[in-house]
Amino acid sequence: MSEETNNGAVAPAEAGAAFTVEKIYVKDVSFEVPGAPAIFTENVQPDLQLNLNQRVQRLNENAFEVVLGVTLTCKAGDKTAYVAEVQQAGIFGLVGLEPQAVDVLLGTQCPNILFPYVRQLVSDLVQSGGFPPFFLQPINFDALYAETLRQRAAQQGGDGELANTEPAGNA
């Protein structure tokens, strides 16, 4: 049973931190087969290039949009067989958290939540385009986030302006 205030309304959990998934959606998707139908007759070993990116936008005090973008380019020799571009997005609520914790969640948990949707959409696009299915391999967003922290620290040159780069103090 939830606690009630004197007027009968449910008391908000002001002291508690919360992380919520408000919405998950496809923001943008594109699939191109520039050399069709001739590309289907070529018997060349495909060369795949994957580009992964992430953007975060603050929507209000407690809500953020996180966009996980994937561009998959398949070349057959010197020709492009296909290009699949997906931007999977989510709106996430983060309440009552320290800035460091917000940064960690936006950089690790949010892309982890979006990744299965990106993986499925890319696979479906490639297969629907007439090519063998392509499955994105798991991505360690924790390691990518740690690398981002190292890059931030290097860019700062040790001036210590961002408190969320590393928990230990640098001298």
Q: Which domains does the chain have, with CATH numbers?
A: 18-156 (3.10.420.10)
Please name every residue paired with 4 in a beta bridge, in sequence order, or none if there are none.
10
- Please, are residues 88 and 114 in contact by the beta-carbon 8 Å criterion? yes
Q: Which of 14-28, 45-59, 64-78 has the lowest mean pLDDT?
A: 14-28
pTM: 0.79
What is the C-alpha to C-alpha distance for residues 43 and 126, in angstroms, rounded to an integer?
17
**At 63, is the secondary structure helix, strand, or coil?**
strand
pLDDT value at residue 111: 98
Cis geometry, peptide bond prior to residue 37 (ω within 30 degrees of 0): yes
**Percent of the chain whose pLDDT exceeds 90:** 70
pLDDT value at residue 158: 56
pLDDT value at residue 166: 34
pLDDT value at residue 15: 57
pLDDT value at residue 16: 83
pLDDT value at residue 63: 97
Output the CA–CA distances (angstroms, integers) from residue 148 to 16, 37, 42, 104, in the order listed: 28, 42, 40, 11
Closest C-alpha among 88, 74, 140, 144 to residue 116: 88
CB within 8 A of 102, min separation 6: which ones? 64, 94
